[in-house]
Amino acid sequence: MPARGTRLATCSYGPTGIEAANDSKEQSMPAVTAPAHKKGDYLVDYEEKVFEDVKAKPGEKALITFHTVAFEGSIGLVNILQALRLQRKGFKTTVLLYGPGVTLGVQRGFPKLGDAPFPGAQNFGDQLTKFMSEGGEIYCCRFALQMLYGHGEGSLLPGIRPISPLDVLDLILLHRRDGAFILNTWTL
């Protein structure tokens, strides 16, 4: 093994990364003169609203479909919150969990179901439960629940209605026929 500080290799076409870093020390960096951000600062204009606050007309519906895996990104939580917003805007809102989306609707926790081993661990379940408590309906594909993820209907959060895989497309088509706003949630 070479002694510490011994150069192991050099590039014939220029300095190594370490030499280049040392050379850059000779150049001065611009000074940062702006004060550091602190708690309570605003970084953006959060009060400006560009578009009108749209509310549902009587009888308008919305369907949010979820074909995304719990904890694999933010889109599942973001669109659960969108479902809550749509419902609060007056839309009769339905959520469809199918494919990997069924993982959003299963009970979880550690060491016991319902326990939160870290902050935010129950975000999906808490928000879906809130959605249902405010009148939202949630349907879950039985095929994906059992075949793809090895869960039974007893694994679902209370209030989620399991449906046949043959009902998945029909639920979407019924909403389309009724002129519903449909938001599809996918991750690949």
Backbone angles phi, psi at 139, to 5 degrees: -120, 145
Burial of 101: CB neighbours in 10 Å, binned 0-12, 13-18, 19+: buried
- Confidence (pLDDT) at 28: 82
- Confidence (pLDDT) at 11: 46
Going from the first residue of the chain to its last (188 residues), give the mean pLDDT of each consecutive group of 10, the final group possibly shorter: 51 52 68 91 93 97 96 92 98 97 97 96 97 98 97 97 98 98 90
Three-state SS at 127: helix
Domain ranges of the chain: 63-107+143-188
For the beta sheet containing 137-141, the strands, ordered from the edge strand earlier in sequence to the opposite edge, are 161-163, 137-141, 92-97, 61-67, 181-186
- Confidence (pLDDT) at 18: 53
